[in-house]
């Protein structure tokens, strides 16, 4: 009986111990790393093409072929599309026939005119008909040529508005050609900050979608504020020789005040910063023994989906970015 009680007691202790040793909670983490951001303002901007050209047919017709796709690079003089040219070819044949007839009359009546046996009025009439035939032939040739859509500039196809088999309308864009050999990043700057920016203010531009961080060039400041937001449009010229920056991409722009972007400030995903009941902010940090602890932080400006951490964490610390909903103080984690 004593041995049985001892065995039950040992089993109970073993079961209690196994319940206490829970499996670590799996989370996603990020190691804190400072980036240059001090002495600067941060804005969210949009990449724009340097120049966009809308290309259209000059007459109405059914598109026979579309030879380009969106995002495709094209060169000046390249054939983009053509439309059904049956009518234009027929009109050209009629014009050529009229031209031949007018030239034949000019040749036959010319000999009479040289002999003085043709009235001057008749000779002027024949010459006029030749000029009219020449004009009609030139128009017919142009109409046939206009059935082909030729790229007037080099660039990439931004948007294709018409497909083969559809009717193209005169002066309605078939495609838009974008020049992105260099681009502009547009930001909106509050009126209280616009006076601190000049054409040579230093900028650092981070485009996550392109995996690219570059220094901006010349700055163009708008002079008319948005009536609702009281912000001014500012465009920063950026070299783009590798064509990685595309119109519409979101850019994080750090704009140096006093022409300096210097101090190092860490950033973390906005969602990793939590709020206590008393309103103070904290993040979950992972210690060397893989336990999670709350650590108070002070935040700065938001930079896209990230936020500057002004104090509370140091470079090299590991912070939980996903899965923190399951944590409590001292929880064991795996990452």
Nearest Cα residue to 301 out of 85, 41, 94, 76: 41
pLDDT computed for residue 7 by the predictor = 45
Residues 324 and 272 in one domain: yes
Residues 66 and 135 in one domain: no
Residues 190 and 236 in one domain: yes
pLDDT (tens place) for every residue of the chain, 335 residues total: 444 444 444 444 444 444 456 789 999 999 998 765 445 678 999 999 999 999 999 999 999 999 999 999 999 999 999 999 999 999 999 999 999 999 999 988 988 888 888 898 999 999 999 999 999 999 999 999 999 999 999 999 999 999 999 999 998 999 999 999 999 999 999 888 888 888 888 898 999 898 888 889 999 999 999 888 889 999 999 999 888 999 999 999 988 754 444 455 788 999 999 999 999 999 999 999 999 999 999 987 676 678 888 889 988 999 999 999 989 999 999 98
pLDDT computed for residue 2 by the predictor = 47
Q: What CATH number corresponds to the domain at position 327?
A: 2.40.420.20
Residues 269 and 319 in one domain: yes
Residues 31 and 97 in one domain: no
Longest C-alpha distance within the chain, in Å?
A: 152
Nearest Cα residue to 34 out of 316, 325, 333, 227: 316
Residue 327 lies inside a defined structural domain of this protein: yes
Q: For residue 180, count CB atoms less than 10 angstroms from its CB and return exposed for 0-12, middle for 13-18, buried for 19 or more.
A: buried
Nearest Cα residue to 238 out of 256, 265, 213, 262: 213
State the Cα–Cα distance between residues 323 and 210, nearest whole angstrom.
Answer: 28
Residues 206 and 294 in one domain: no
Residue 18 lies inside a defined structural domain of this protein: no
pLDDT computed for residue 236 by the predictor = 96
For the CA atoms of 280, 281, 287, 293, the dihedral, rounded to the nearest 10 degrees, stands at 50
Nearest Cα residue to 185 out of 304, 33, 309: 304
CB 130 within 8 A of CB 106: yes
Residues 287 and 303 in one domain: yes
Residue 16 lies inside a defined structural domain of this protein: no
Question: Phi and psi at residue 93, in whole multiples of 5°?
Answer: -60, -40
Residue 284 lies inside a defined structural domain of this protein: yes
3-class DSSP state of 222: coil
CB 149 within 8 A of CB 54: no
Residue 4 lies inside a defined structural domain of this protein: no
Tracing tokens 């009235």 back to the chain, one arrives at 119
Half-sphere exposure of 220 (CA within 13 A, CB side): 10
pLDDT computed for residue 33 by the predictor = 82
Residues 158 and 304 in one domain: no
Residues 297 and 156 in one domain: no
State the Cα–Cα distance between residues 67 and 82, nearest whole angstrom.
Answer: 8
Q: What CATH number corresponds to the domain at position 129?
A: 1.10.287.470
215: its two tokens: 């220094």
Task: Tell me the sheet residues that pair with 235.
Answer: 186, 220
Domains held by the chain: number = 4
pLDDT computed for residue 296 by the predictor = 95
Residues 60 and 170 in one domain: yes
Residues 123 and 64 in one domain: no
Q: DSSP string of 121-151?
A: HHHHHHHHHHHHHHHHHHHHHHHHHTTEEE-
Which of 160, 175, 190 is the endpoint of a domain?
Answer: 175
Q: Cβ of 219: how many Cβ atoms within 10 Å?
A: 20
Which of 262, 291, 311 is the endpoint of a domain?
Answer: 262
Nearest Cα residue to 52 out of 161, 150, 182, 158: 158
Query: Length of the chain, please?
Result: 335
Residue 127 structural domain:
86-145
State the Cα–Cα distance between residues 36 and 22, nearest whole angstrom.
Answer: 41
Residues 69 and 167 in one domain: yes
Residue 8 lies inside a defined structural domain of this protein: no
Q: Cβ of 235: how many Cβ atoms within 10 Å?
A: 18
First to last CA, the chain: 48
Nearest Cα residue to 312 out of 301, 330, 300, 323: 300
Q: What CATH number corresponds to the domain at position 79?
A: 2.40.50.100
Residue 117 lies inside a defined structural domain of this protein: yes
Nearest Cα residue to 35 out of 279, 263, 230: 263
pLDDT computed for residue 264 by the predictor = 58
Which of 241, 262, 283 is the endpoint of a domain?
Answer: 262
């Amino acid at each position: 009986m004593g041995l049985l009680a001892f065995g039950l007691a040992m089993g109970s202790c073993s079961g209690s111990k196994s319940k206490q040793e829970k499996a670590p909670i799996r989370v996603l983490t990020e190691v804190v790393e400072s980036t240059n951001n001090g002495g600067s303002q941060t804005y969210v901007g949009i990449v724009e093409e340097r120049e966009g050209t809308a290309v259209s047919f000059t007459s109405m017709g059914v598109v026979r072929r579309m030879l380009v796709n969106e995002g495709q690079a094209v060169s000046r003089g390249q054939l983009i599309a053509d439309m059904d040219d049956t009518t234009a070819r027929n009109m050209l044949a009629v014009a050529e026939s009229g031209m031949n007839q007018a030239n034949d009359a000019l040749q036959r009546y010319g000999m009479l005119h040289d002999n003085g046996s043709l009235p001057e009025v008749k000779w002027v009439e024949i010459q006029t008909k030749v000029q009219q035939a020449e004009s009609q032939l030139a128009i017919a040739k142009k109409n046939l040529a206009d059935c082909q859509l030729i790229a007037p500039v080099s660039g990439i196809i931004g948007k294709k508005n018409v497909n083969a088999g559809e009717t193209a309308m005169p002066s309605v864009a078939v495609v838009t050609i974008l020049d992105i050999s260099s681009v502009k990043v547009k930001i909106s700057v509050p009126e209280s900050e616009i006076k601190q920016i000049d054409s040579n203010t230093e900028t650092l531009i981070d485009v996550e979608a392109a995996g690219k961080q570059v220094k901006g060039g010349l700055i163009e400041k708008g002079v008319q504020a948005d009536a609702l937001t009281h912000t001014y449009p500012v465009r920063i010229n950026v070299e783009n020789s590798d064509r990685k920056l595309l119109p519409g991409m979101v850019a994080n722009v750090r704009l140096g005040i006093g022409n300096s972007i210097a101090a190092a400030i860490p950033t973390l995903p906005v969602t990793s910063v939590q709020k206590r009941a008393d309103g103070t902010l904290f993040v979950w940090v992972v210690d060397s023994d893989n336990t999670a602890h709350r650590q108070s932080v002070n935040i700065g400006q938001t930079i896209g989906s990230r936020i500057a951490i002004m104090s509370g964490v140091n470079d090299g610390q590991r912070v939980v970015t996903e899965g923190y909903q399951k944590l409590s103080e001292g929880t064991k984690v795996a990452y």
